[in-house]
A and B are shown apart, each in its own frame.
Chain A
Amino acid sequence: NAGVTQTPKFQVLKTGQSMTLQCAQDMNHNSMYWYRQDPGMGLRLIYYSASEGTTDKGEVPNGYNVSRLNKREFSLRLESAAPSQTSVYFCASSRESSPYGYTFGSGTRLTVV
């Protein structure tokens, strides 16, 4: 009963480095999402994937790319990290019109120095 699994849990990057955040869900959900959470800002949607094979931009997509590798996995890539991308990143999944809401992973705390 893993739910949504994110890796890594913590990461420190230097400005300009790249990295990929991994997310996998085992609930057979169609939709997956990447959010960032900053103090006082709530959660902001970066990208989402309504179904396997599709991805769309959210509120704050600049500086990020995503890949929906298959139904289970949705990765977030930072090509050239910037200090403004220091944040906590959450992956979530849902049935498209689920009455049960989203299931969130435990987050990745990323610091860019």
Chain B
Amino acid sequence: SQQGEEDPQALSIQEGENATMNCSYKTSINNLQWYRQNSGRGLVHLILIRSNEREKHSGRLRVTLDTSKKSSSLLITASRAADTASYFCATSGGSYIPTFGRGTSLIVHP
């Protein structure tokens, strides 16, 4: 299975701190995506990184991809209470359809 597994399952930090969550997967991928889900809402696409890329930035988000270790990390810098959400990685291989992991639940305390 291409399914990514996020780590940790839950993360609790103070506002202003950085939050790092990781995603590991088992087989080769074409791309990896990160999504955010606020409680009771649909998923929102954050960033996509292709297998030939090592790092991407979007605002306070930084995503890295290490294909040799089959892992990715999502860093949120200077976290805010509004960043409280679940974060999912989704991997795509031969099929363009991504497979989602089980998510990391992030709580940012004001």
Which residues of chain A have a CB within 8 Å of any CB of chain B? 4, 33, 35, 40-45, 48, 58, 90, 92, 96-97, 99-107
Contact = CB atoms under 8 A, between A and B. Distances in A.
Contacts of A4: 42
Interface of B: 3, 33, 35, 40-45, 48, 88, 96-103
11 contacts: A41-B102, A43-B43, A43-B100, A58-B97, A90-B42, A92-B42, A99-B48, A102-B43, A103-B45, A104-B42, A107-B42
Given A42-B103, A96-B96, A106-B42, 12 more contacts: A4-B42, A33-B97, A43-B43, A48-B97, A92-B42, A101-B45, A102-B35, A104-B42, A105-B42, A106-B41, A107-B41, A107-B42
Contacts of B41: 106-107
